[in-house]
Protein backbone atom coordinates (compact mmCIF):
# COMPACT_ATOMS: atom_id res chain seq x y z
CA UNK A 1 0.00 0.00 0.00
CA UNK A 2 1.33 3.42 -0.96
CA UNK A 3 2.07 6.09 1.60
CA UNK A 4 -0.28 9.08 1.55
CA UNK A 5 -0.19 12.60 2.93
CA UNK A 6 -3.38 13.23 4.92
CA UNK A 7 -4.80 16.05 7.04
CA UNK A 8 -7.45 17.04 9.55
CA UNK A 9 -8.44 20.59 10.42
CA UNK A 10 -10.60 22.45 12.90
CA UNK A 11 -10.85 26.14 12.06
CA UNK A 12 -13.08 29.21 11.97
CA UNK A 13 -14.66 27.62 8.87
CA UNK A 14 -15.86 24.58 10.83
CA UNK A 15 -16.33 25.57 14.49
CA UNK A 16 -16.84 28.64 16.73
CA UNK A 17 -13.96 29.83 18.88
CA UNK A 18 -15.36 28.27 22.06
CA UNK A 19 -15.13 24.81 20.48
CA UNK A 20 -11.88 25.15 18.58
CA UNK A 21 -9.90 26.75 21.44
CA UNK A 22 -9.92 23.33 23.17
CA UNK A 23 -7.45 22.21 20.51
CA UNK A 24 -5.13 25.21 20.77
CA UNK A 25 -1.97 23.28 21.68
CA UNK A 26 0.95 24.72 23.64
CA UNK A 27 4.51 23.71 22.68
CA UNK A 28 4.52 21.17 25.52
CA UNK A 29 1.20 19.74 24.34
CA UNK A 30 2.53 19.49 20.77
CA UNK A 31 5.36 17.29 22.01
CA UNK A 32 2.88 15.11 23.91
CA UNK A 33 0.58 14.80 20.89
CA UNK A 34 3.49 14.03 18.53
CA UNK A 35 4.86 11.28 20.78
CA UNK A 36 1.38 9.89 21.40
CA UNK A 37 0.56 9.72 17.70
CA UNK A 38 3.82 7.94 16.91
CA UNK A 39 3.13 5.36 19.61
CA UNK A 40 -0.52 4.85 18.65
CA UNK A 41 0.11 4.71 14.89
CA UNK A 42 3.47 3.06 14.05
CA UNK A 43 3.03 3.63 10.29
CA UNK A 44 3.00 7.42 10.76
CA UNK A 45 5.96 8.68 8.70
CA UNK A 46 5.76 12.44 9.05
CA UNK A 47 3.85 15.02 11.06
CA UNK A 48 3.16 18.75 10.84
CA UNK A 49 1.14 20.37 13.65
CA UNK A 50 -0.10 23.81 12.65
CA UNK A 51 -1.64 25.77 15.53
CA UNK A 52 -2.80 29.37 15.10
CA UNK A 53 -5.47 31.58 16.64
CA UNK A 54 -8.02 30.40 14.10
CA UNK A 55 -7.04 26.82 13.31
CA UNK A 56 -5.44 23.63 14.54
CA UNK A 57 -4.38 21.28 11.77
CA UNK A 58 -2.53 18.00 11.61
CA UNK A 59 -0.78 16.87 8.43
CA UNK A 60 0.74 13.40 8.43
CA UNK A 61 2.04 10.70 6.12
CA UNK A 62 0.97 7.08 6.56
CA UNK A 63 0.17 3.94 4.65
CA UNK A 64 -2.85 2.73 6.62
CA UNK A 65 -3.76 5.17 9.39
CA UNK A 66 -6.68 7.34 8.24
CA UNK A 67 -7.32 10.97 9.11
CA UNK A 68 -10.51 9.98 10.95
CA UNK A 69 -8.48 7.71 13.25
CA UNK A 70 -6.13 10.55 14.16
CA UNK A 71 -9.09 12.89 14.70
CA UNK A 72 -10.72 10.44 17.08
CA UNK A 73 -7.41 9.91 18.90
CA UNK A 74 -7.10 13.68 19.47
CA UNK A 75 -10.71 13.91 20.64
CA UNK A 76 -10.14 11.16 23.18
CA UNK A 77 -6.84 12.71 24.30
CA UNK A 78 -8.03 16.31 24.59
CA UNK A 79 -11.79 16.17 25.16
CA UNK A 80 -11.96 12.77 26.86
CA UNK A 81 -14.60 11.29 24.55
CA UNK A 82 -15.46 10.82 20.88
CA UNK A 83 -18.84 12.36 20.06
CA UNK A 84 -20.42 12.91 16.65
CA UNK A 85 -20.92 16.61 17.46
CA UNK A 86 -17.17 17.00 17.99
CA UNK A 87 -16.24 14.89 14.97
CA UNK A 88 -18.28 17.21 12.74
CA UNK A 89 -16.09 20.17 13.74
CA UNK A 90 -13.26 18.72 11.66
CA UNK A 91 -12.53 18.79 7.94
CA UNK A 92 -10.28 15.95 6.76
CA UNK A 93 -8.93 14.05 3.77
CA UNK A 94 -6.94 10.87 3.08
CA UNK A 95 -5.94 11.93 -0.44
CA UNK A 96 -2.46 13.36 -0.97
CA UNK A 97 -3.65 15.66 -3.75
CA UNK A 98 -6.44 17.15 -1.62
CA UNK A 99 -4.11 17.55 1.34
CA UNK A 100 -1.44 19.42 -0.62
CA UNK A 101 -4.03 21.67 -2.23
CA UNK A 102 -5.50 22.52 1.19
CA UNK A 103 -2.03 23.25 2.59
CA UNK A 104 -1.19 25.56 -0.34
CA UNK A 105 -4.45 27.47 0.09
CA UNK A 106 -3.90 27.82 3.83
CA UNK A 107 -0.31 29.03 3.37
CA UNK A 108 -1.40 31.63 0.79
CA UNK A 109 -3.98 33.06 3.17
CA UNK A 110 -6.93 32.01 1.02
CA UNK A 111 -8.41 30.07 3.95
CA UNK A 112 -7.68 32.72 6.61
CA UNK A 113 -10.36 34.72 8.40
CA UNK A 114 -8.74 37.76 6.79
CA UNK A 115 -7.99 37.08 3.13
CA UNK A 116 -4.26 37.05 2.43
CA UNK A 117 -3.14 36.88 6.06
CA UNK A 118 0.62 37.41 5.93
CA UNK A 119 1.35 35.89 9.35
CA UNK A 120 0.28 32.35 8.41
CA UNK A 121 3.47 31.64 6.44
CA UNK A 122 5.58 32.40 9.53
CA UNK A 123 3.40 30.07 11.59
CA UNK A 124 3.83 27.30 9.01
CA UNK A 125 7.61 27.79 9.04
CA UNK A 126 7.56 27.44 12.82
CA UNK A 127 5.43 24.27 12.59
CA UNK A 128 7.78 22.76 9.99
CA UNK A 129 10.78 23.62 12.16
CA UNK A 130 9.14 21.55 14.93
CA UNK A 131 8.79 18.65 12.45
CA UNK A 132 12.45 18.89 11.46
CA UNK A 133 13.63 19.10 15.08
CA UNK A 134 11.70 15.92 15.87
CA UNK A 135 12.72 14.11 12.67
CA UNK A 136 9.11 13.99 11.50
CA UNK A 137 9.51 14.92 7.84
CA UNK A 138 8.69 12.28 5.22
CA UNK A 139 9.22 12.51 1.47
CA UNK A 140 5.67 13.71 0.72
CA UNK A 141 5.68 16.33 3.47
CA UNK A 142 9.14 17.54 2.50
CA UNK A 143 8.16 17.87 -1.16
CA UNK A 144 4.89 19.62 -0.27
CA UNK A 145 6.80 22.16 1.85
CA UNK A 146 9.18 22.86 -1.04
CA UNK A 147 6.11 23.43 -3.21
CA UNK A 148 4.58 25.67 -0.53
CA UNK A 149 7.64 27.94 -0.19
CA UNK A 150 8.01 28.20 -3.97
CA UNK A 151 4.32 29.14 -4.24
CA UNK A 152 4.69 31.78 -1.51
CA UNK A 153 7.61 33.38 -3.34
CA UNK A 154 5.70 33.48 -6.62
CA UNK A 155 2.61 34.99 -4.99
CA UNK A 156 4.75 37.73 -3.40
CA UNK A 157 6.64 38.48 -6.63
CA UNK A 158 3.94 38.03 -9.27
CA UNK A 159 0.78 39.43 -7.68
CA UNK A 160 -0.47 42.35 -5.58
CA UNK A 161 -2.00 39.94 -3.10
CA UNK A 162 0.29 41.10 -0.29
CA UNK A 163 -0.35 44.82 -0.87
CA UNK A 164 -2.16 46.64 1.94
CA UNK A 165 -1.95 45.31 5.45
CA UNK A 166 -4.23 42.65 6.81
CA UNK A 167 -2.00 42.04 9.81
CA UNK A 168 -3.78 41.62 13.12
CA UNK A 169 -0.83 43.19 14.95
CA UNK A 170 -0.75 46.20 12.61
CA UNK A 171 -4.48 46.75 13.01
CA UNK A 172 -4.19 46.52 16.80
CA UNK A 173 -1.69 49.39 16.77
CA UNK A 174 -3.79 51.37 14.32
CA UNK A 175 -6.72 51.13 16.74
CA UNK A 176 -4.76 53.29 19.17
CA UNK A 177 -4.70 56.17 16.68
CA UNK A 178 -8.30 55.54 15.67
CA UNK A 179 -9.38 55.71 19.33
CA UNK A 180 -7.30 58.59 20.69
CA UNK A 181 -6.55 60.64 17.57
CA UNK A 182 -3.83 63.26 17.99
CA UNK A 183 -3.33 62.26 21.65
CA UNK A 184 -2.37 58.68 20.76
CA UNK A 185 1.37 59.29 21.02
CA UNK A 186 0.96 60.39 24.65
CA UNK A 187 -0.88 57.27 25.82
CA UNK A 188 0.68 54.71 28.14
CA UNK A 189 0.62 51.31 26.47
CA UNK A 190 1.13 47.78 27.86
CA UNK A 191 1.91 44.74 25.70
CA UNK A 192 1.14 41.49 27.51
CA UNK A 193 3.03 38.45 26.22
CA UNK A 194 6.29 37.78 24.41
CA UNK A 195 5.28 35.48 21.55
CA UNK A 196 4.96 35.96 17.81
CA UNK A 197 2.12 38.49 17.94
CA UNK A 198 3.86 40.74 20.46
CA UNK A 199 7.04 40.62 18.40
CA UNK A 200 4.91 41.66 15.42
CA UNK A 201 3.58 44.59 17.48
CA UNK A 202 7.11 45.83 18.02
CA UNK A 203 7.92 45.31 14.35
CA UNK A 204 4.97 47.37 13.13
CA UNK A 205 5.41 50.03 15.81
CA UNK A 206 8.26 51.41 13.70
CA UNK A 207 5.50 52.76 11.44
CA UNK A 208 3.55 54.32 14.33
CA UNK A 209 6.29 55.52 16.65
CA UNK A 210 4.57 54.94 19.99
CA UNK A 211 7.19 55.44 22.70
CA UNK A 212 5.45 55.09 26.04
CA UNK A 213 5.30 51.29 25.83
CA UNK A 214 5.81 48.66 28.53
CA UNK A 215 5.92 44.88 28.12
CA UNK A 216 5.26 42.07 30.58
CA UNK A 217 5.27 38.29 30.36
CA UNK A 218 4.94 35.38 32.75
CA UNK A 219 8.58 34.57 31.92
CA UNK A 220 10.06 37.93 32.81
CA UNK A 221 13.41 37.16 31.18
CA UNK A 222 11.66 37.14 27.79
CA UNK A 223 9.89 40.43 28.56
CA UNK A 224 13.17 42.01 29.64
CA UNK A 225 14.87 40.82 26.47
CA UNK A 226 12.13 42.36 24.31
CA UNK A 227 12.38 45.55 26.36
CA UNK A 228 16.13 45.78 25.75
CA UNK A 229 15.79 45.06 22.03
CA UNK A 230 13.11 47.74 21.60
CA UNK A 231 14.49 50.27 24.11
CA UNK A 232 11.42 50.29 26.32
CA UNK A 233 10.70 49.12 29.89
CA UNK A 234 9.59 45.75 31.26
CA UNK A 235 6.67 45.78 33.70
CA UNK A 236 6.29 43.34 36.63
CA UNK A 237 4.18 40.26 35.92
CA UNK A 238 3.18 40.16 39.58
CA UNK A 239 1.35 43.47 39.15
CA UNK A 240 -0.48 42.07 36.15
CA UNK A 241 -1.62 39.05 38.16
CA UNK A 242 -3.00 41.49 40.74
CA UNK A 243 -4.73 43.32 37.87
CA UNK A 244 -3.16 46.56 39.06
CA UNK A 245 -3.57 48.20 35.65
CA UNK A 246 -5.14 51.58 36.29
CA UNK A 247 -2.13 53.53 34.98
CA UNK A 248 -2.49 52.24 31.39
CA UNK A 249 -4.55 53.80 28.61
CA UNK A 250 -4.02 50.89 26.21
CA UNK A 251 -3.52 47.18 26.94
CA UNK A 252 -2.86 44.75 24.09
CA UNK A 253 -2.72 41.16 25.32
CA UNK A 254 -1.66 37.97 23.53
CA UNK A 255 -0.93 35.33 26.16
CA UNK A 256 -1.79 31.75 25.24
CA UNK A 257 -3.81 29.54 27.58
CA UNK A 258 -4.69 32.38 29.97
CA UNK A 259 -8.46 32.75 29.83
CA UNK A 260 -9.74 35.71 31.87
CA UNK A 261 -6.23 36.75 32.85
CA UNK A 262 -7.36 40.38 33.11
CA UNK A 263 -10.72 40.81 34.81
CA UNK A 264 -10.46 44.00 36.91
CA UNK A 265 -8.22 46.95 37.73
CA UNK A 266 -8.91 48.93 34.56
CA UNK A 267 -9.09 52.72 34.96
CA UNK A 268 -12.66 54.02 35.19
CA UNK A 269 -11.98 57.75 35.12
CA UNK A 270 -10.59 57.85 31.58
CA UNK A 271 -11.05 56.16 28.20
CA UNK A 272 -9.24 52.82 27.98
CA UNK A 273 -8.57 50.68 24.91
CA UNK A 274 -8.34 46.90 25.41
CA UNK A 275 -7.25 44.70 22.50
CA UNK A 276 -7.48 40.93 23.02
CA UNK A 277 -5.33 38.98 20.54
CA UNK A 278 -5.34 35.69 22.46
CA UNK A 279 -7.21 32.41 22.19
CA UNK A 280 -8.75 31.80 24.70
CA UNK A 281 -9.37 35.48 25.41
CA UNK A 282 -7.25 37.20 28.06
CA UNK A 283 -9.85 39.82 29.00
CA UNK A 284 -13.03 39.07 30.91
CA UNK A 285 -16.03 40.01 28.73
CA UNK A 286 -17.48 41.83 31.75
CA UNK A 287 -14.87 44.59 31.31
CA UNK A 288 -16.67 45.73 28.15
CA UNK A 289 -19.68 46.80 30.24
CA UNK A 290 -17.64 49.73 31.54
CA UNK A 291 -18.66 52.74 29.39
CA UNK A 292 -15.07 54.06 29.53
CA UNK A 293 -13.70 50.86 27.98
CA UNK A 294 -13.46 50.12 24.27
CA UNK A 295 -12.69 46.45 23.73
CA UNK A 296 -11.69 44.61 20.57
CA UNK A 297 -10.95 40.92 20.04
CA UNK A 298 -9.75 38.78 17.13
CA UNK A 299 -13.20 38.53 15.59
CA UNK A 300 -13.90 42.27 15.65
CA UNK A 301 -10.44 43.06 14.26
CA UNK A 302 -10.88 40.52 11.47
CA UNK A 303 -14.16 42.20 10.58
CA UNK A 304 -12.51 45.62 10.37
CA UNK A 305 -9.62 44.33 8.28
CA UNK A 306 -12.04 43.28 5.55
CA UNK A 307 -11.70 46.79 4.12
CA UNK A 308 -8.79 45.44 2.08
CA UNK A 309 -10.79 42.49 0.83
CA UNK A 310 -11.78 43.99 -2.52
CA UNK A 311 -8.16 44.53 -3.54
CA UNK A 312 -7.22 41.10 -2.31
CA UNK A 313 -10.14 39.52 -4.16
CA UNK A 314 -8.96 41.12 -7.38
CA UNK A 315 -5.54 39.48 -6.97
CA UNK A 316 -6.90 36.19 -5.61
CA UNK A 317 -7.62 34.85 -9.09
CA UNK A 318 -3.91 35.14 -9.95
CA UNK A 319 -3.01 33.44 -6.68
CA UNK A 320 -5.38 30.57 -7.48
CA UNK A 321 -3.69 30.12 -10.85
CA UNK A 322 -0.22 30.01 -9.29
CA UNK A 323 -1.42 27.48 -6.73
CA UNK A 324 -2.95 25.36 -9.49
CA UNK A 325 0.33 25.39 -11.43
CA UNK A 326 2.45 24.42 -8.44
CA UNK A 327 -0.11 21.83 -7.31
CA UNK A 328 -0.05 20.26 -10.79
CA UNK A 329 3.75 20.09 -10.65
CA UNK A 330 3.52 18.32 -7.28
CA UNK A 331 1.00 15.84 -8.69
CA UNK A 332 3.32 15.06 -11.59
CA UNK A 333 6.13 14.41 -9.10
CA UNK A 334 3.86 12.13 -7.08
CA UNK A 335 2.73 10.18 -10.13
CA UNK A 336 6.37 9.52 -11.01
CA UNK A 337 7.14 8.16 -7.53
CA UNK A 338 6.48 4.47 -8.38
CA UNK A 339 8.73 4.77 -11.46
CA UNK A 340 11.52 6.40 -9.41
CA UNK A 341 11.22 3.70 -6.76
CA UNK A 342 11.44 0.99 -9.42
CA UNK A 343 14.44 2.71 -11.00
CA UNK A 344 16.21 2.83 -7.63
CA UNK A 345 15.47 -0.86 -7.07
CA UNK A 346 16.71 -1.82 -10.52
CA UNK A 347 19.87 0.27 -10.13
CA UNK A 348 20.72 -1.68 -6.99
CA UNK A 349 20.09 -4.91 -8.92
CA UNK A 350 22.38 -3.77 -11.74
CA UNK A 351 25.17 -2.86 -9.32
CA UNK A 352 24.95 -6.19 -7.43
CA UNK A 353 24.83 -8.20 -10.68
CA UNK A 354 27.84 -6.37 -12.11
CA UNK A 355 29.75 -6.92 -8.91
CA UNK A 356 28.97 -10.65 -9.08
CA UNK A 357 29.99 -10.85 -12.79
CA UNK A 358 33.18 -8.94 -12.08
CA UNK A 359 34.20 -11.41 -9.40
CA UNK A 360 33.14 -14.50 -11.40
CA UNK A 361 34.95 -13.44 -14.57
CA UNK A 362 37.96 -11.91 -12.87
CA UNK A 363 37.51 -8.40 -14.27
CA UNK A 364 38.87 -6.79 -11.12
CA UNK A 365 36.50 -3.82 -11.40
CA UNK A 366 36.69 -1.20 -8.67
CA UNK A 367 33.56 0.15 -6.98
CA UNK A 368 33.90 3.34 -9.03
CA UNK A 369 34.17 1.41 -12.29
CA UNK A 370 31.09 -0.64 -11.41
CA UNK A 371 29.18 2.60 -10.72
CA UNK A 372 30.18 4.01 -14.12
CA UNK A 373 29.05 0.84 -15.89
CA UNK A 374 25.83 0.75 -13.82
CA UNK A 375 24.96 4.29 -14.91
CA UNK A 376 25.68 3.40 -18.54
CA UNK A 377 23.37 0.38 -18.35
CA UNK A 378 20.64 2.41 -16.63
CA UNK A 379 20.72 4.93 -19.48
CA UNK A 380 20.26 2.07 -21.93
CA UNK A 381 17.36 0.75 -19.84
CA UNK A 382 15.59 4.11 -20.04
CA UNK A 383 15.48 3.65 -23.80
CA UNK A 384 13.78 0.27 -23.20
CA UNK A 385 11.50 0.98 -20.18
CA UNK A 386 9.75 -2.37 -20.60
CA UNK A 387 12.97 -3.96 -19.32
CA UNK A 388 12.32 -2.45 -15.89
CA UNK A 389 9.27 -4.63 -15.38
CA UNK A 390 11.03 -7.90 -16.23
CA UNK A 391 13.85 -8.91 -13.92
CA UNK A 392 15.07 -11.76 -16.19
CA UNK A 393 15.32 -9.52 -19.25
CA UNK A 394 17.22 -7.04 -17.12
CA UNK A 395 19.74 -9.73 -16.15
CA UNK A 396 20.33 -10.48 -19.86
CA UNK A 397 20.81 -6.80 -20.64
CA UNK A 398 23.31 -6.48 -17.80
CA UNK A 399 25.27 -9.50 -19.02
CA UNK A 400 25.30 -8.07 -22.54
CA UNK A 401 26.68 -4.68 -21.52
CA UNK A 402 29.02 -6.18 -18.93
CA UNK A 403 30.88 -7.83 -21.81
CA UNK A 404 31.88 -4.39 -23.16
CA UNK A 405 35.66 -4.35 -22.58
CA UNK A 406 36.22 -0.61 -22.08
CA UNK A 407 34.84 1.33 -19.18
321 belongs to a structural domain: no
Where is the domain boundary, 102, 137, 158?
158
Q: Which residue has the higher pLDDT, 88 or 371?
A: 88
311 lies in some domain: no
Do 183 and 92 fall within a single domain?
Answer: no
What pLDDT score was predicted for residue 386?
A: 65
- 405 pLDDT band, cuts 50/70/90, is very low
Domain edge (last residue) among 113, 134, 158: 158
The binding site for substrate consists of 52-55, 112, 117-119, 123
Question: Is 279 found in the same domain as 173?
Answer: yes
Q: Are 289 and 387 members of one domain? A: no
- What's the CA gap between 34 and 13, in Å, rounded? 25
Cα separations in angstroms, 264 against 125, 238, 267, 282, 328: 37, 14, 9, 12, 54
**pLDDT tens readout for residues 204-252:** 998 899 999 999 999 999 999 999 999 999 999 999 999 999 999 999 9
Q: Is 39 within the bounds of a domain?
A: yes
Whether residues 137 and 197 fall in one domain: no
For the cut 90, the answer to whether the pLDDT of residue 374 exceeds it is: no
| Residue 407 resides in a domain | no
Domain count, the chain: 3
Which domain, by its residues, includes 172? 168-306
34-48, 317-331, 339-353, 379-393 — which is least confidently predicted?
379-393
Q: Verify that 181 and 268 share a domain, yes or no.
A: yes
Q: What is the pTM of this model?
A: 0.62
Set 44, 51, 53, 115: catalytic member: 53
Boundary residue ending a domain (119, 134, 158): 158
Domain with residue 111: its CATH number is 3.30.460.30
Mark the binding-site residues for NADP(+), compressed into ranges.
193-198
Pick the residue with more confidence: 354 or 41? 41
> In terms of domains, do 285 and 141 share one?
no
Residue 322 lies in a domain: no
Taking residues 290-296, report their average pLDDT: 94
Of all residues in the chain, the percent with pLDDT exceeding 90 is 66
Q: 64 and 177: one domain?
A: no
Domain annotation covers residue 13: yes
- Looking at the domain assignment, is residue 105 inside a domain? yes
91 and 139 together in one domain: yes
Does residue 206 share a domain with residue 129?
Answer: no
Tell me if residue 58 is catalytic: no
d(CA 332, CA 341): 15
- Give the pLDDT of residue 370: 82
Task: Tell me, yes or no, whether 333 lies in a domain.
Answer: no
Amino acid sequence: MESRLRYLSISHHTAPVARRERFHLSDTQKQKVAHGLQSAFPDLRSLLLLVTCNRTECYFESKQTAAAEVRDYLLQLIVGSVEASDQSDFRLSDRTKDTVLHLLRVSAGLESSVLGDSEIIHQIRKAYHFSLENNLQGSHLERSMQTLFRTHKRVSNETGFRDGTTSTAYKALKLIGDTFGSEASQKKILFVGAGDIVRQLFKYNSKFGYRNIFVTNRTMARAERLARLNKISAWPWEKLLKNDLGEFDVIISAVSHASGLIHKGIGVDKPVLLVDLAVPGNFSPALATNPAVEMHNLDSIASQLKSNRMARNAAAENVEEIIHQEWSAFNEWQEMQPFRSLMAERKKQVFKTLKRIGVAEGHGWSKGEISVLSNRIMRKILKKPETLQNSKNLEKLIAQYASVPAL
